[in-house]
Chains A and B, each alone.
Chain A
Amino acid sequence: MPHVKLFANLRTLAGTKELSIRGSTVGAVLNDLVKQNPALGEILLENGGLRPHIIITLNGNNMDDMDVEVNEQDIIAVFPPIAGG
């Protein structure tokens, strides 16, 4: 199963920093993540898509194509809106 890492307030909402989630694409993994942790849905999703400023990376590379296939070595990182500098 692909590995999912959560950051900022997503950790508090999910009660964990990381977890393994079933799914063959980035989108499928995120859907299952939200199904298991409904509180994350309010932060991450809007009208069936990602909310603005949500950042998803696959093995450290920004990802906006939810149909990209993933395998069990892959790491998906999920960030809520963050800012700084």
Chain B
Amino acid sequence: MAGWSEKILDIDLRTQTYKTYPLDMEMARLFVGGRGLGARLLWDMVGPEVDPLSPENVLIFTNGPLTGTGYQTSNRFSVSTKSPLTGTILDANSGGFWGMQFKKAGYDVMIVRGRSEKPVWIEIKYDVITFHDASELWGMRVFDLTKKLGQNNNKRNVLCIGPAGENLSRVASIMNDRERALARGGPGAVMGSKNLKAIVVEGKDRPAINDPERFKFLLYETRKLLAASPLTSQALPEFGTVVLMNIMNNIGALATRNHQQTQFEGADAISGEELTEKYLVKNASCWACPIGCTRYSKTEKVEGEGPEFESTWAFGAQCGIDDLPAIIEANSLCNDLGLDTISVGSTIACAMELSEKGYMDSNLRFGRADQLAPTIEAMAYRRDVGSDLADGSLRLATKYGHSELSMSAKGMEMPAYDPRGMQGQGLLYATSNRGGCHMRGNMVGSEVLGLPKMIDRFQVQGKSSFVILHQNVSAAIDSLVICKFTNMGVADEYFARVLSTVTGIQYDTGELTRVGERVWNLERLYNLREGFSRKDDTLPPRLLNDAPTEGPSKGWVVQLEPMLKEYYRSRGWDENGVPRPQKLEELKLADMLVRN
């Protein structure tokens, strides 16, 4: 069937063997691809008895029916696994070129099971799979390794872990195409636990498209829509995502010094405007992307992609640091070592607060830009203070007796948006299936930027419906898979037309949103099966009890309880956050109810 390759590649690292078999197309119709398909497969393969870092956990790499078609931003792919950081279901999603190449190799899914006795890397050339000894590559950093294994953007693409993944840091990322990241939740540690250093892929065939003529027209129309939107044609290419720094600070919703404040006096010094003026070399793009939001920046020490807004915030405002070159260098170092910038920055901030308050014996202090690089190195290699920080802020803060100082939800460090100034974002973090994350829906559009229209960011009543819509649409887009920024110029209704044109299966808008809802509910069921419950749908006490004493969000805490009750009701879940049987029937997830 067009869109899908209808093929799963299933690799066993223990025996260094593989097999291929057909993708269940009914499953594909219901879960589409990417995050959705990954969640559905993980449900069957990894139960509550499995330790995330044991050989029994799996890595499920998925693309979607739009991946590699050439539709705008159709470069993305996912990895699904059980998170070693949170213990929840995890999917991490990345752009670049590797996902497109993986699709062109002829697979929808690659499952990686078991653990190799010795370090190994895998080479996929269309239908030829080769296992190579990686003993001499073990220990290499990402940039050198990517080059050594022959990265060539449109022909051969490298996905790998750095030292952080080898050392099983629970905030280790998997990197692809040198500087793109499957970042959050520690998938790099899962890959490291399998002794798998890299997966290199070469493809050849673009996926088949059911109606090529209509597809050409949709490409043309999408190009026009993206060019007509000031967001995708000007805002993102001109200043990148870091342009959000000043507005978040302006409205008092920029988490600062481990969320002790909501405004940072140094925000302008680390803003998109400053980055563009002083450090930007050029823009860069993922495959088939006309938006080009990626910054390519340079300091005296480093040159490369980034930083994005969240990374700049994590090493900047969250650590009380206004030294932009040091932040750019910290971002680059994380990419080279294979670390998630958000979790690393926020974990360092947590350590700074623990140390300043005398709970932890270290010299880490807010504002010390010179401490970033050595601390990041120490985390990747589990050296000195880094051994405490390498597993994220919750484990760190718990070790020192102050778990309340971890700015995380379900153990995943939250990004830049302080939810005391954005009530919906608070509900979103608390209910996110992979923990504190802005990529499982993001209320910054509705609550800050007025996209598609502005809603009162302090409003509580009625907020759950917006959060649910964002979550469902996000899950649908992550299953196609395309970049969420496309949605800033192209309405999500349009994506159903593209999917129908590519696959030949008629999806209307409602059905695509329903796919997102189905994925969200399945992820929820997975977490319930793991033992998560209503008590885990919460936020750090600071955000629930300590109101900012100054700035535009002065006096506000997150009013979580009423929003959560409304959210459960609106989702069709019971008062404990368990999907009701009727809802599961409606979503064609009834068989999961039996097995839950």
> Which residues of A are in contact with B by a Cβ distance under 8 Å?
5, 7-9, 11, 17, 52-53, 55, 57, 59-62, 64, 77, 79-85
Query: Interface centre among A59, A60, A61, A85, by most B CB within 10 Å?
Result: A85
Knowing A53-B450, A59-B552, A62-B457, say if A83 contacts B252 (CB, 8 Å).
no
Report if B484 contacts A (CB, 8 A): yes
> Which residues of B are in contact with A by a Cβ distance under 8 Å?
230-232, 234-236, 238-244, 246-247, 250-252, 268, 272-273, 293, 309, 438-439, 442, 444-445, 448-451, 454, 457, 484-485, 488, 551-553
When distances are taken between beta carbons in the complex, the residues of chain A under 8 Å from B457 are 62
9 A-B residue pairs with Cβ-Cβ distance under 8 Å, sorted by A, are: A55-B450, A59-B552, A62-B454, A77-B250, A84-B241, A85-B438, A85-B439, A85-B444, A85-B484
- Nearest chain-A residue to B442 (Cβ)? A85
When distances are taken between beta carbons in the complex, the residues of chain B under 8 Å from A55 are 247, 448-450
When distances are taken between beta carbons in the complex, the residues of chain B under 8 Å from A60 are 250-252, 551-553
Q: Are A82 and B454 in contact (CB under 8 A)?
A: no
- Bound: A60/B555 CA distance, A: 14
When distances are taken between beta carbons in the complex, the residues of chain A under 8 Å from B309 are 84-85
Knowing A8-B273, A64-B454, say if A79 contacts B552 (CB, 8 Å).
no
Query: Interface centre among B251, B439, B485, B551, by most A CB within 10 Å?
Result: B251
Q: Are B247 and A82 in contact (CB under 8 A)?
A: yes
- Bound: A52/B488 CA distance, A: 13
Is the contact region of chain A dominated by helix, strand, or loop, or is it mixed? Answer: loop
- Nearest chain-B residue to A84 (Cβ)? B241
Knowing A53-B449, A60-B551, A62-B454, say if A84 contacts B251 (CB, 8 Å).
no
Q: Are A8 and B451 in contact (CB under 8 A)?
A: no
Q: Are A81 and B235 in contact (CB under 8 A)?
A: yes
Q: How distant is A32 from chain B, measured CB to nearest CB, in Å?
A: 21
Q: Are A82 and B449 in contact (CB under 8 A)?
A: yes
Q: Could you say which of A53, A61, A64, A84 contacts B240, with CB atoms under 8 Å apart?
A: A84
- Bound: A52/B454 CA distance, A: 11
- Bound: A5/B293 CA distance, A: 24
- Nearest chain-A residue to B293 (Cβ)? A84
- Bound: A77/B268 CA distance, A: 13
- Nearest chain-A residue to B244 (Cβ)? A84
Knowing A61-B251, A61-B552, A64-B454, say if A82 contacts B273 (CB, 8 Å).
no
Q: Could you say which of A7, A11, A59 contacts B247, with CB atoms under 8 Å apart?
A: A7
When distances are taken between beta carbons in the complex, the residues of chain B under 8 Å from A64 are 454
When distances are taken between beta carbons in the complex, the residues of chain A under 8 Å from B439 are 85
Q: Are B247 and A79 in contact (CB under 8 A)?
A: yes
- Nearest chain-B residue to A58 (Cβ)? B552
- Nearest chain-A residue to B240 (Cβ)? A84
Q: Could you say which of A8, A53, A61 contacts B272, with CB atoms under 8 Å apart?
A: A8
Q: A85-B309, A85-B485 are in contact. List 17 more A-B contacts (CB 8 A).
A: A5-B250, A7-B246, A55-B450, A57-B251, A59-B552, A60-B551, A60-B553, A62-B450, A80-B235, A82-B231, A82-B235, A83-B241, A83-B485, A84-B243, A84-B244, A84-B309, A85-B241
- Bound: A61/B251 CA distance, A: 6
Q: How distant is A53 from chain B, measured CB to nearest CB, in Å?
A: 6
Q: How distant is A65 from chain B, measured CB to nearest CB, in Å?
A: 12
Q: How distant is B77 from chain A, measured CB to nearest CB, in Å?
A: 19
Q: How distant is A73 from chain B, measured CB to nearest CB, in Å?
A: 14
- Nearest chain-B residue to A75 (Cβ)? B250
When distances are taken between beta carbons in the complex, the residues of chain B under 8 Å from A53 are 230-231, 449-451
Q: Are A84 and B232 in contact (CB under 8 A)?
A: no
Q: Are A8 and B238 in contact (CB under 8 A)?
A: yes
Query: Interface centre among A60, A83, A85, by most B CB within 10 Å?
Result: A83
Q: Are B252 and A8 in contact (CB under 8 A)?
A: no
Q: Could you say which of B268, B438, B451, B552 contacts A83, with CB atoms under 8 Å apart?
A: B451
Q: Could you say which of A17, A61, A82 contacts B239, with CB atoms under 8 Å apart?
A: A82
When distances are taken between beta carbons in the complex, the residues of chain B under 8 Å from A84 are 235-236, 240-244, 293, 309, 444
Q: How distant is B477 from chain A, measured CB to nearest CB, in Å?
A: 12
Q: Are B552 and A81 in contact (CB under 8 A)?
A: no
- Bound: A38/B535 CA distance, A: 55
